Amino acid sequence: MKRHVRASNLMLHSITRVVTFVLLAFSIYLFFAGHNNPGGGFIGGLMTASALLLMYLGFDMKRIKKALPFNFTTMIAVGLLVALFTGVSSMLFGYPFLTQFFDYYDLPVLGTTELSTALPFDLGIYLVVVAIALTIILAIAEDDS
């Protein structure tokens, strides 16, 4: 809104750099924790969106656009497709739409881990939420009239 004030705001810049990482990490934690603890795709997505938003607030639009070369409207579609694909994939094996599966695997670093198809579905939600939040806010912010 008042862009000229932000011209040389060293404090804000430095804090933003640090806090953004903390927020992003927390949002990723929330996303992965969803299955067993409070959290999940929705709140994780909102948290990621707020981290990115903080970047937009700390720096100017142009620079962040360069740093994050995403088209958020495309991301909405990608998120929806991911969620839809998880649903459809169970149909390929003869199960009803959106039947979820899980199993335990021994992974190299993580040890015995549970992998479930609920995760990609949650990823779809996550992507949609991030993209929607940023689409709305950026659209309003870029509106000059």
Partner 1 sequence: MSVLHLAILLPLLAAPFIPFLFRAVKRIHTGWFVLVVPTLLFVYFFRYIGITSDGGVVTETVRWMPSLGINFTAYVDGLGLLFALLITGIGALVVLYSIYYLNKDKESLGHFYVYLLLFMGAMLGVVLSDNMVVMYMFWELTSISSFLLIGYWYEKERSRYGAQKSMLITVFGGLSMLGGIVLLESMVGSFSIREMVANQAVIVDSPFFIPAMILILLGAFTKSAQFPFHIWLPDAMEAPTPVSAYLHSATMVKAGLYLVARMSPVFQESSLWLWIIVSFGTFTLFWGSFNAVKQTDLKGILAYSTVSQLGLIMSLLGLGAAALHYDGVDDNIFMVATIAAIFHLINHATFKGSLFMMVGIVDHETGTRDIRKLGGLMTVMPITFTIAVIGSLSMAGLPPFNGFLSKEMFLKATTKVFSADFFALDTIGLLIPVVAFIASVFTFVYSLIIFTRTFMGKAQFDKLPKQPHEAPIGMLIPPAILAVLVVVLGFIPNVLSNTLIRPAVESIYPSLVEGGQAVEVDLYFWHGITPELLMTIGIVALGTVLFFTLNKWMGIYNRVPYRLTLNGMYDGSLVWSNKAAYRFKDNYMTGFIRSYLIYIFVFMSGMLLFSMWWYEMFSFSFGEMAEVTPYEYVLGAVVVLSAFAILFMRSRLPAIILLGVVGYGVALFFVFFEAPDLALTQLVIETVSVALFLLVFYHMPEIGKKEARMRFKVGNAIVAVLVGITVMMLSFMTLSNKSISSISEYYKENVYDLAAGKNMVNVVLVDFRGFDTLFEIIVLAVAGLGIYTMIKFRTTAQRTKGEDEHGHEAKK
Distances (CA, A) of 82 to 2, 4, 76, 118, 124: 38, 41, 10, 11, 5
Name the nearest CA neighbour of 44 among 29, 25, 31.
31
For the CB of residue 13, give the shortest distance to partner 1 in the complex, in Å.
22
Binding segment toward partner 1, per CB under 8 A, in 3-11, 15-23, 31-39, 57-65: 31-39
Q: CB of 124 within 8 A of CB of 86?
A: yes
Q: Is 54 in the site for partner 1 (CB under 8 A)?
A: no
Binding letters toward partner 1, positions 70-109, x by CB under 8 A: ---x--xx-xx--xx--x---------xx-x-x-------
| Rounded Cα gap, residues 122 and 78, in angstroms | 13
Out of 16, 23, 48, 50, point to the residue binding partner 1 (CB under 8 A).
Answer: 50
For the CB of residue 10, give the shortest distance to partner 1 in the complex, in Å.
25
